[in-house]
């Protein structure tokens, strides 16, 4: 086992990120890779999505034209109903108790005073859903209509934690579901 | 009737048939043992750390952080300052945390500085605590607790005086400050077995006369003076963290990863283990590939054996035909034969596997730290067996069709 691990270290150096400056740091932002965090405890299960704007609306500049604004509004509206994004098994009897949908723009606050740095802008769709469930253990599978709802979407990197432990998944459009049977 | 005939026919060729069954059993056993090793290696991996919610380290990749903090492989790029650690420790979300400090070694075994909370909080294999088998946890500044494998390989007992070396592979020793073994841990089957554990203060103490990674020449602070110094840790390598509620874990993780004062990383151990396994998955797939080739070869081998026996059995078949068996019955008999051979092989391979596992289990555990659980065959194994039997019967169709052809053409006297 140690031998395999030593080889891995070699692979690993290539992906290690080391920042020279301590206080200057930029969040990672990769088009085509959305993040999803799932946490569950007791009767509660929470889903937190962070998706690059490019994966949803196809652009990340600050929406100025009516068409762009409408497109963002429409997609934010789509996030309002979680069923457009993911579905839970009905026998888990989960009820949505709280949700938060927002567009997080990585932009200067007073944008009017600046020129449009269109290519430098990034934005992110953020959505968080909390559920209270009759039986969280019945959640054996989560399906993601997300991929068909947003044809531009790439993969979803999922971090999942329950009292049993944590695990990760990579979900892609070809197989838009995760199997968490026995992990809650 | 058909079954009786087939058995009688097989019995008449007992030696060849048993050789065939034995060969197939060995191949199947090879597949089963590879499969067992594959799943056991994964379980051993994931069992190394349990019930730790986050691992904190300096900014690095998640796999690297996991490897050096849990598996003692590789090194940290940076340490974390105690101030940052303290700030994180005081966050509302944090229930407990255990700091660790790495970087020194003893005769090739890594030395880890930590506090006594480590033994209360670090869990492995589904929540098991590390137990002490002999002696006590460290009490004095120069006490050291050693893992089971360290004690066994170096033949150390309680009270043994040891010297810690500076760095992982260096010739400079901290020989001015010898340690004493105060406790030996139970075997865990994790990298803890190969670890020498001291207190965080001890790590500070042995580096009192050191500056920028080298000993200051001529400077040797007496031990008594060191004991009276403030030895609280100024930096640590990593920390294990438990949160109060799993629901807050991602918030804390984001907070740590965006911590402005210091470049830090926090990972969910299970997530990083999974990422690691995805890379190892290449080796795993290779093993699986080999197993499938082995089964495939076995099937062809069986068909070849039935084939080669056909010539010598032409007379037997002709007699069957003379007794009134239709050519279809001849096909049936050969397929039944394949069924019996493959079924017996699956039984024997399972028995052989259990004998082998019982013999090899302690050795694999000792040498590679992979604990193989000896348990009943999994549903997947049974499915593979069923698939194997069906394939064996299908493969036997080839010689069976040939036999069918012979039986139509051959009379009682065979002209070859």
Question: From the candidates A2, A3, A5, A131, which should be mutated to test the interface with B, based on the most B CB atoms within 10 A?
Answer: A5
Which chain A residues are closer than 8 Å to B67 by Cβ?
A: 5, 8-9, 12
DSSP code for A20: S
User: Is residue B240 within 8 angstroms of chain A, CB to CB?
Assistant: no
Q: What's the pLDDT score for residue B383? A: 92
Is the CB of A90 inside 8 Å of chain B's CB atoms? no
Whole-number percent of chain B with pLDDT over 90:
46
* pLDDT at residue B99 in the model: 97
Query: Is A7 part of the contact surface with chain B (CB cutoff 8 Å)?
Result: no
Residue B334 belongs to a domain: yes
Q: Report if residue B206 sits inside a domain.
A: yes
Chain A's closest residue to B45, CA to CA, is A1
B81: Cα separation from own chain's centroid = 34
At residue B413 the predicted structure's pLDDT band, cuts being 50, 70 and 90, is: low
Distance of alpha carbon B58 from alpha carbon B263, whole angstroms: 6
**Residues A22, B73: C-beta atoms closer than 8 Å:** no
Residues A36-73: tens digit of each pLDDT:
999 999 999 999 999 998 888 888 787 788 888 888 89
pLDDT for the residue B114: 96
In this predicted structure, what is the pLDDT of residue B173? 84
Are B85 and B231 members of one domain? yes
* B214, B363: one domain: no
Cα–Cα dist A37/A27, whole Å: 16
Q: Are B229 and B208 in contact (CB under 8 A)?
A: yes
Which residues of chain B does A1 touch, with a Cβ-Cβ cutoff of 8 Å? 41, 44-45, 368-370
- Give the three-state DSSP class for A2: helix
Instruction: Name which of A3, A6, A7, A8 to mutate to probe chain B: the one with the most chain B Cβ atoms within 10 A of its Cβ.
Output: A8
A2 to chain B, any CB pair closer than 8 A? The answer is yes
Picking from B334, B281, B265, the residue whose alpha carbon sits closest to that of residue B77 is: B265
Question: Rounded CA gap, B314 and B255, in Å?
Answer: 80
Same domain, B185 and B246: yes
Length, in residues, of chain B: 416
Residue B41: pLDDT above 60?
A: yes
Distance (Å) from the C-alpha of residue B268 to the closest C-alpha of chain A?
6
Q: What is the pLDDT of residue A9?
A: 52
Contact across the interface for B270 and A165, Cβ inside 8 Å: yes
Give the integer Cα–Cα distance in Å for B82 and B99. Answer: 9
Residue B415 lies in a domain: no
Does position B216 have pLDDT exceeding 70, yes or no?
Answer: yes
Hey, are the CB atoms on A166 and B268 less than 8 Å from each other? Answer: yes
Please tell me if residue B337 touches chain A, with a CB cutoff of 8 Å: no
Residue B329 shares a structural domain with residue B386: yes
Classify residue B130: in a domain, yes or no.
yes
Q: pLDDT (tens digit, 9 = 90+) per residue, B243-261?
A: 999 999 999 999 999 999 9
In sequence order, the β-bridge partners of residue A77 are none
The per-residue pLDDT of chain B, averaged, comes to 88
Of the candidates B287, B74, B191, which has an alpha carbon nearest to the alpha carbon of residue A11?
B74
User: A113 to chain B, minimum CA–CA distance in Å?
Assistant: 27
Best mutation target among A36, A47, A159 (most B Cβ atoms within 10 Å) is: A159
Interface test with A, best of B50, B61, B267, B280 (most A CBs within 10 A): B61
Domain of B369 in residue numbering reads as 2-45+280-409
Q: pLDDT value at position B333?
A: 84
Main-chain dihedrals φ then ψ at residue B344, nearest 5 degrees: -60, -40
Beta-carbon pairs below 8 A across chains A and B: 103
What is the mean predicted confidence (pLDDT) over B99-112?
A: 93
- Of the candidates B41, B246, B279, the beta carbon closest to that of A41 is on B246
Q: In whole angstroms, how far apart are CA A123 and each of A49, A57, B12, B76?
A: 13, 10, 79, 33
Q: Do the domain assignments include residue B242?
A: yes
Q: Which of B78, B275, B370 sits opposite A168 (nearest CB)?
A: B275
Decide if B272 is inside a domain: no
Both B35 and B64 in one domain: the answer is no
Q: Does A167 touch chain B (CB under 8 A)?
A: yes
Burial class (CB in 10 A: 0-12, 13-18, 19+), A91: exposed
Over residues A3-29, the pLDDT tens digits come to 555 555 554 444 444 444 446 767 777
**B302, pLDDT greater than 60:** yes
How much is the average pLDDT of B64-82? Answer: 91
Both B178 and B286 in one domain: the answer is: no
Kindly tell me if the per-residue pLDDT of B351 is higher than 90: yes
- Is B128 found in the same domain as B62? yes
Each as own residue / partner, the long-range contacts of residues B217-221 (CB below 8 Å, 24 or more positions apart, any chain) are: B220/B176
Q: What is the C-alpha to C-alpha distance for residues B194 and B188, in angstroms, rounded to an integer? A: 10
Of B64 and B292, the one with more pLDDT: B64
Six token digits for residue B144: 């050291």
pLDDT of A106? 67
Q: Under a CB-based contact definition with an 8 Å cutoff, are residues B77 and B237 in contact?
A: no
CA dist A181 and A184 (Å) reads 7
Looking up tokens 């509302």 gives B92
Q: H or E segment at A156?
A: strand A155-162
Residues B379 and B253 in one domain: no
- pLDDT value at residue A54: 87
A33 near B CB under 8 A: no
E strand or H helix at B287, and its extent? helix B269-312
Query: Does the beta carbon of B286 lie under 8 angstroms from any beta carbon of chain A?
Result: no
Contact A39 B247 (CB under 8 A): yes
**pLDDT tens figures, B152-186:** 999 999 999 999 998 877 668 888 889 999 999 99
Q: Are residues B325 and B214 in the same domain?
A: no
Name every chain B residue with its beta carbon within 8 A of the beta carbon of A47.
Answer: none
B56-68 core/surface letters (b: 16 or more CB in 10 A; e: else) = bbbbbbbbbbbbb
Do B88 and B229 lie in one domain? The reply is: yes
Share of chain A above pLDDT 70, in %: 78
Last residue of one domain, picked from the residues B216, B233, B267 = B267
B392 and B313 within one domain: yes
| Whether residue B96 is found in the same domain as residue B15 | no
Residue with tokens 């499915």: B383
Last residue of a domain, one of B238, B267, B296: B267
- Return the DSSP state at A18: -
User: What residues of chain B, 28 to 67, have a C-beta less than 8 Å from chain A?
Assistant: 41, 44-46, 50-51, 53, 59-61, 63-64, 67
* Sign of the four-CA dihedral B212, B214, B217, B223: positive
State the total domains in chain B: 2
Please tell me the distance in Å from A17's CA to the nearest CA on chain B: 5
Choose one of B267, B301, B321: the last residue of a domain.
B267
């Amino acid at each position: 086992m140690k031998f395999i691990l030593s080889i891995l270290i070699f692979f690993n150096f290539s992906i290690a990120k080391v920042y020279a400056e301590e206080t200057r740091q930029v969040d990672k932002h990769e088009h085509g890779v959305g993040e999803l965090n799932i946490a569950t405890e007791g009767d509660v299960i929470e889903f937190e999505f962070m998706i690059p704007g490019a994966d949803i609306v196809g652009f990340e500049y600050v929406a100025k034209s009516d068409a762009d604004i409408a497109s963002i509004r429409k997609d934010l509206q789509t996030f309002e109903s979680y069923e457009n994004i993911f579905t839970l098994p009905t026998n888990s009897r989960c009820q949505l108790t709280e949700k938060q949908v927002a567009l997080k723009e990585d932009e200067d606050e007073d944008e009017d005073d600046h020129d449009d740095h269109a290519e430098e802008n990034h934005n992110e769709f953020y959505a968080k859903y909390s559920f209270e469930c009759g039986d969280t253990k019945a959640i054996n599978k989560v399906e993601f209509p997300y991929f068909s709802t947003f044809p531009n979407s790439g993969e979803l990197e999922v971090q999942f934690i329950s009292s049993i432990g944590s695990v990760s998944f990579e979900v892609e459009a070809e197989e838009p579901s995760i199997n968490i049977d026995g992990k809650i | 009737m058909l079954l009786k005939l087939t058995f009688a026919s097989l019995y008449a060729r007992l030696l060849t048939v048993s050789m065939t069954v034995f060969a197939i059993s060995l191949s199947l056993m090879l597949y089963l043992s590879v499969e067992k090793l594959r799943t056991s290696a994964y379980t051993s991996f994931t069992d190394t750390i349990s019930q730790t919610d986050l691992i904190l380290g300096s900014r690095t990749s998640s796999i690297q952080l996991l490897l050096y903090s849990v598996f003692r492989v590789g090194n940290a790029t940076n340490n974390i300052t105690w101030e940052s650690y303290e700030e994180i420790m005081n966050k509302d979300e944090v229930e407990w945390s255990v700091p660790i400090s790495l970087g020194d070694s003893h005769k090739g075994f890594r030395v880890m500085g930590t506090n006594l909370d480590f033994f209360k909080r670090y869990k492995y294999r589904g929540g098991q605590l590390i137990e002490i088998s002999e002696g006590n946890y460290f009490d004095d500044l120069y006490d050291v607790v050693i893992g089971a494998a360290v004690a066994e390989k170096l033949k150390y007992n309680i009270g043994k005086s040891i010297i810690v070396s500076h760095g992982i592979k260096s010739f400079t020793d901290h020989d001015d400050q010898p340690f004493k073994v105060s406790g030996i841990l139970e075997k865990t089957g994790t990298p803890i077995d190969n670890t020498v554990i001291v207190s965080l203060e001890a790590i500070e103490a042995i580096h009192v006369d050191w500056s920028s990674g080298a000993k200051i020449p001529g400077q040797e602070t007496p031990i008594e003076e060191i004991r009276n110094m403030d030895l609280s840790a100024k930096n640590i390598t990593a920390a294990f963290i438990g949160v109060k509620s799993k629901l807050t874990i991602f918030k804390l993780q984001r907070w740590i990863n965006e911590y402005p004062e210091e470049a830090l990383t926090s990972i969910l151990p299970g997530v990083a283990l999974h990422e690691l396994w995805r890379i190892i998955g290449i080796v795993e797939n290779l093993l699986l590939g080999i197993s499938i080739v082995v089964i495939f070869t076995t099937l062809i081998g069986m068909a070849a054996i039935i084939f080669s026996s056909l010539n010598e059995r032409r007379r037997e078949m002709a007699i069957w035909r003379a007794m009134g068996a239709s050519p279809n019955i001849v096909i049936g008999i050969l397929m039944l034969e394949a069924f019996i051979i493959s079924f017996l092989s699956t039984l024997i391979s399972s028995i052989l596997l259990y004998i082998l596992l019982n013999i090899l289990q302690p050795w694999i555990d000792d040498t590679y730290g992979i604990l193989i659980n000896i348990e009943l065959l999994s549903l997947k194994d049974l499915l593979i067996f069923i698939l194997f039997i069906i394939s064996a019967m299908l493969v036997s169709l080839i010689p069976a069709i040939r036999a069918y052809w012979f039986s139509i053409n051959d009379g009682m006297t065979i002209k070859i």
